[in-house]
Structure 1
């Protein structure tokens, strides 16, 4: 995988995670409250003199709607977005790291194992999950603590900075990694999710391929593809969450304040013993209601961003591939295509009309390919190699779609100014103008006492680079006067730098 591909997956993963987190934050808060121990969960429901501590522990857990109602009544609507700050801070790097690690591992494993096989998806998802969890666990601990901070409406709420101080004061640096063992156990959920998702995604693509072949359509993504990906992500996440959900409850308990829950296996034994096995699935309904749309939104955003970025970055090569059938059939004409420019080079001998059939052929190809020629920016320049100057009156104006093409004596193309006599005088003037501007900066560096090695680096990057740009196409066509002017500039630079510099001939 290239560096550009890795950056695309980093950015796409961050976008997907951020969009999903923002839209489903209220459900995340309700889910976290339901997963927590009974004391933390019901503190907002307790009324003075109503129940004691033991009675509160025996109370049946409320449902998601009841919990949502309690939060709105006691803490206000803003409490539904508790922890959104750390969530947004963490979700972008977490998802970016995850998707980049997953794509990189998958790319490497495809060259070793059977491409896109189940083992490839399992190992890639496991490695990606381990990397993301280790890097971002402190952020999720702070988010969980803030979401569990149940205070009545109007009371001063704990800030993220205050939460960090309390964690460090109570447990030191290791306190920021509480619950990480449960997160590692949760890698199984990630593995199951991606294995199912990749299989469904592959089947969708396989189902679409023969259909498009029958209909002679391309395989570009349309709205139905992204709907299919959302359904694939939702289905795979439902299966994975239902199997591996207990680790979510254990992780929340480990991240609570206090020392009752110390390790993964101790919490796994304590929770069923005190509250029954159903406690390990407390909040599952809310989690599914939140996680399914969140995952669908995240995966769809990820696929969409990757598709758009790859499409945007691939436009120049795609244009060249798509226009490969546009070639001149005339022996003395050559068509040069770039991402957004095309040049028709014609060798004229005798009549100046020899290139017109090739030009007409190109215009007709553009029309049939639904491409519009920008005639206002199209220029016609004739370079003469004759000893006798060419009579301008002998030229016949080129006309495209009824619009005459401007005939010019000079034209700047790909950074170099050409003239119809190939003397490159205008190009030389442009080079000297740019060099004189940068000579001022070089003299300033010298006046500041900058070392010769640093000034040489500046010269190579900002002056020599300008003077030698496309030098092989114009240097030996220059007049002696213009060569001497350029060489004089290099001599001045050498004196300022205090070191010999290469001549243009070299």
Structure 2
């Protein structure tokens, strides 16, 4: 049996890979949605004591760590608030994963046909395919990412009542560029993130595949380690992207982020100047807590969904 037939990314038709990626994104997103809301709130919160919207009457920040933030949201906004932005986020994760896995497979096959299978080291091949796949998926689905952030960030004072209103108002008030605010740092983050993720994942998966774990598989464990590694390396760019995404005419309805951020470099410099380098990693803990189950669920579901669709296709043919 050739190495090509043994690697999951080379199995199945394009439609089956796309469907498996979409299924994985849908399930993964719903499970980790509350942690995503918490992460976004922490990333957008400044620690300036002059900001009344991000601090309690006693002067401390409203959001202090993962569990206290969850308790605060439950107490002040109700349990459904933990899934704010879930509709655009579900669409984002489904579309992003479908495009990502499909592109990853096609780029891998292209590398094989161009340079020959096995010519490029597996880690290098995975880095290239992962970077291209991540960048493509991010660019295509970015407006949904922006909508997810804005809905997750709004508290009891609602900025947008539904997706239709948000789409129309952003287009009317901010123009086409409004849907892509923060795309630069988004691409700057996702390309190395997905490159590192798939490189680590494909390196570890063969060694972990035979592990028998009580609540997981070796592939899920490899996905978890890969995600934590990639997230830690690229997190500052994710925080910069979130700050830029809520800029515009509705900015002061979310958080009083002062001064107004203009561009990725300016945003990073402003954060460092006001909060130090530590400010670039605000929300990293919950991000890592989120990244582990999200990636584990995504890769575990993707592999099994792909096998299901392949088996379904074989039964249909028969």
Distance 2:71 2:62 in 1: 16
Residue 191 (structure 1) aligned to one of 189, 195, 212: 195
Q: Give the corresponding residue for 1:5.
A: 13
Q: Is the 8 A contact 2:192 2:234 kept in 1?
A: yes
Q: Give the corresponding residue for 2:254.
A: none
Distance 2:198 2:52 in 1: 36
Distance 1:120 1:143 in 2: 32
**Structure 2 alignment gaps of length 5 or more:** 1-8, 252-259
Distance 2:265 2:175 in 1: 22
Q: Give the corresponding residue for 1:146.
A: 151
Distance 1:161 1:238 in 2: 35
Of 22-31 and 36-45, the range deviating more from structure 2: 36-45
Residue 97 of structure 2 is aligned to residue 92 of structure 1: no
Question: Per-residue deviation at 1:89?
Answer: 1.6
Q: Is the 8 A contact 2:63 2:69 kept in 1?
A: no
Q: Give the corresponding residue for 2:170.
A: 167
Q: Is the 8 A contact 2:63 2:72 kept in 1?
A: no
**Structure 1 alignment gaps of length 5 or more:** 209-221, 318-338, 340-506
Q: Whose strand proportion is higher, 1 or 2? A: 1
Distance 2:215 2:202 in 1: 14
Residue 207 (structure 2) aligned to one of 203, 209, 225: 203
Distance 2:315 2:24 in 1: 24
Partner secondary structure for residue 185 of structure 2? helix
Of 277-286 and 253-262, the range deviating more from structure 2: 253-262
Distance 1:199 1:269 in 2: 35
Going from structure 1 to structure 2, the CA distance change for 1:44 and 1:151 (only over 3 Å counts) comes to: farther
Which structure has the greater CA radius of gyration? 1
Distance 2:97 2:288 in 1: 19
- The residue correspondences of 1:94-113 to structure 2 (distance < 5 A) are 94-111=96-113, 112-113=115-116
Going from structure 1 to structure 2, the CA distance change for 1:309 and 1:61 (only over 3 Å counts) comes to: closer
Q: Give the corresponding residue for 2:53.
A: 43
Distance 2:10 2:229 in 1: 33
- The residue correspondences of 1:347-366 to structure 2 (distance < 5 A) are none
Distance 2:46 2:207 in 1: 44
- The residue correspondences of 1:13-28 to structure 2 (distance < 5 A) are 13-28=21-36
Distance 1:34 1:225 in 2: 30
Deviation string for 1:340-369 (max 9, x for gaps)? xxxxxxxxxxxxxxxxxxxxxxxxxxxxxx
Partner secondary structure for residue 158 of structure 1? coil
Distance 1:226 1:60 in 2: 35
TM-score by length of 1: 0.54
Residue 182 of structure 2 is aligned to residue 179 of structure 1: yes
Partner secondary structure for residue 150 of structure 1? coil
Q: How many residues align?
A: 294
Question: Per-residue deviation at 1:312?
Answer: 3.4
Question: Per-residue deviation at 1:183?
Answer: 1.1
Partner secondary structure for residue 217 of structure 2? helix
Question: Per-residue deviation at 1:176?
Answer: 0.3
Partner secondary structure for residue 165 of structure 2? helix
Distance 2:62 2:144 in 1: 31
- The residue correspondences of 1:49-60 to structure 2 (distance < 5 A) are none
Q: Whose helix proportion is higher, 1 or 2? A: 2
Distance 1:202 1:78 in 2: 40
